[in-house]
């Protein structure tokens, strides 16, 4: 009985005063206990259904907004609140930037234990919608149903869906009518593909029973308005496949290449699949400040092209290269940052764990005529060792751009042994970045940080930090 009582507990009149991790809003209950609330923004006064109650905080969801925040705006998308992609679409962009910058600063102070540093104003995006150059959608024969549909006695009609996974409900797909994150004709292509598939009886994927034909669909574009489509099919149906592909190519001349893969395994990961090219070159090319990059279906490339340009430019600015430096680029990916640096450095040495990424980095360097880049493949903590350092020139500058988990402690240890004069730390997670900076602070002084907003309408934020050896 006590468990049910806690489950149905409602907190009333909670004033939300701040933003927390993962986009939640923060308030206090009448006892002063912290309440983390989803489905609301700072400034709202809400009633909250308790989901979890811990010793130091409560987690809950807003079930009623008693008083709206002055920072609220009308969400642009009809799917807001169901789709988990744009949790801050109901908050003014100025306030989104304010809370993102505040989160980065607080993480550096609270987790990194550093207070004496300069914060540059967050670099906001000029385009706050239609900024993504890559979107991935899933087919399903069991679309997500609203509570109203579930309670209704009416025929639910077509149960097929092409869209996003519902947060916390991996087997349910939201049938997407619109998405404001990618430019036209993204919506038009997706809707046309679904309409064709339904009209021609093509089977949508059944994730529970692992059967069907159409599985996933990726749209990728470059800054020149050229598009790549990648279909994942659960099984081969040659005639149906070719008719669908020909339909898309005839309808949308912007599609410059169409690729596909047969995927009968348990997950949708593309990286271990054999990609087949049906039309075009199988890749797009992208130009960034005079550098050319080949973008394939498996390539990692920043999904916000315009902000990525700014991020790379600022990283180069923070490095402040004079032309005679040796630079190490850890977690180099496809070597994008490395090649920005190489034009201003004596030599750049990049390390990355993904073989395809390193192959692309080498190819990009050759295309761009950069002969001063060396790239190595392997797990960072196993490649970036004392033996490696002994075989290569000492780094004057080190740039690191790790995944969300940050750097392994052994990697931090090797950086301290390498002792470059300068470290430029690019991060998509300021909490793990702050943790790593804490490990470096005995030997390095944090000079300045620059938050960069790569993903408007979400709580995600990147950060560039400059550290100088003491």
Which positions are catalytic?
Answer: 428
- Annotated ligand binding at 401? The verdict is yes
- Annotated ligand binding at 307? The verdict is no
Q: What is the 3-state secondary structure (H, E, C) of the chain?
A: CHHHHHHCCEEEEEEEEEECHHHCEEEECCCCCEEEEECCCCCCEEEEEEEEECCCEEEEEEEEEEECCCCECCCCCCCECCECCCCCCCECHHHHHHHHHHHHHHHHHHCCCCCCCEECCCECCCCCCCCECEEEEEEECCECCCHHHHHCCCCCCCCCEEEEEECCEEEEEEECCCCCCECCCHHHHHHHHHHHHHHCCCCECECCCCECCEEEEEEEECCCCCEEEEEEECCCCHHHHHHHHHHHHHHCCCEEEEEEEECCCCCCCCCCCCCEEEECCCCEEEEECCEEEEECCCCCCCCEHHHHHHHHHHHHHHHCCCCCCEEEEECCCCCHHHHHHHCCCCEEEEEECCHHHHHHHHHHHHHCCCCCEEEEECCHHHHCCHHHHHCCCCCCEEEECCCCCCCCHHHHHHHHHHCCCEEEEEECCHHHHHHHHHHHCCCEEEEEEEEECCCCCCCCCEEEEEEEEC
- Annotated ligand binding at 302? The verdict is yes
**Known binding site: residues?**
302, 331, 352, 401
**Known binding site for S-adenosyl-L-methionine: residues?**
302, 331, 352, 401
């Amino acid at each position: 009985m006590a468990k049910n009582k806690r489950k149905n507990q409602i907190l009333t009149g909670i004033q939300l005063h701040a933003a927390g991790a993962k986009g939640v809003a923060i308030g206090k209950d009448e006892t002063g206990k912290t309440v983390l609330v989803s489905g609301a923004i700072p400034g709202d006064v809400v009633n909250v259904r308790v989901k979890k109650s811990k010793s130091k905080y409560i987690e809950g969801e807003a079930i009623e907004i008693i008083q709206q925040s002055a920072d609220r705006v009308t969400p642009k998308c009809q799917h807001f609140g169901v789709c988990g992609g744009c949790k801050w679409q109901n908050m003014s962009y100025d306030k989104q930037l304010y809370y993102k910058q505040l989160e980065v600063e607080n993480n550096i102070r609270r987790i990194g234990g550093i207070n004496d540093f300069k914060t540059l104003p967050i670099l906001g995006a000029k385009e706050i919608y239609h900024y993504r150059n890559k979107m991935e959608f899933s087919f399903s024969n069991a679309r997500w149903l609203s509570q109203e549909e579930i309670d209704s006695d009416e025929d639910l009609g077509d149960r097929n869906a092409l869209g996003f996974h519902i947060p916390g409900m991996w087997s349910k797909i939201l049938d997407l009518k619109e998405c404001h994150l990618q430019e036209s004709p993204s919506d038009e292509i997706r809707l046309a593909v679904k309409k064709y598939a339904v009209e021609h009886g093509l089977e949508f994927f059944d994730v529970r029973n692992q059967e069907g034909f159409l599985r996933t669909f990726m749209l990728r574009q470059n800054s020149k308005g050229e598009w790549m489509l990648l279909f994942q099919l659960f099984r081969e149906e040659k005639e149906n496949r070719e008719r669908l592909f020909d339909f898309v190519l005839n309808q949308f001349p912007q599609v410059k290449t169409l690729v596909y893969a047969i995927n009968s395994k348990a997950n949708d990961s593309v990286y271990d699949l054999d990609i087949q090219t049906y039309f075009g070159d199988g890749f797009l090319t992208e130009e960034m400040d005079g550098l050319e990059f080949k973008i394939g279906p498996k390539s990692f490339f920043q999904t916000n092209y315009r902000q990525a340009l700014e991020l790379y430019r600022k990283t180069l600015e923070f490095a402040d290269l004079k032309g005679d430096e040796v630079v190490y680029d850890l977690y180099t990916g496809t070597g994008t940052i490395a090649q920005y640096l190489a034009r201003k450095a004596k030599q750049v040495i990049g390390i990355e764990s993904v073989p395809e990424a390193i192959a692309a980095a080498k190819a990009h360097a050759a295309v761009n005529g950069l002969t001063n880049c060396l790239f190595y493949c392997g797990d960072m903590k196993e490649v970036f060792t004392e033996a490696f350092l002994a075989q290569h020139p000492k780094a004057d500058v080190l740039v690191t751009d790790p995944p969300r988990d940050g750097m392994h402690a052994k990697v931090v240890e090797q950086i301290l042994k390498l002792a470059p004069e300068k470290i430029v730390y690019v991060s998509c997670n300021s909490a793990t970045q702050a943790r790593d900076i804490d490990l470096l602070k005995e030997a390095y002084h944090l000079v300045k940080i620059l938050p960069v907003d790569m993903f408007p309408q979400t709580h995600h934020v990147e950060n560039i930090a400059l550290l100088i050896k003491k």
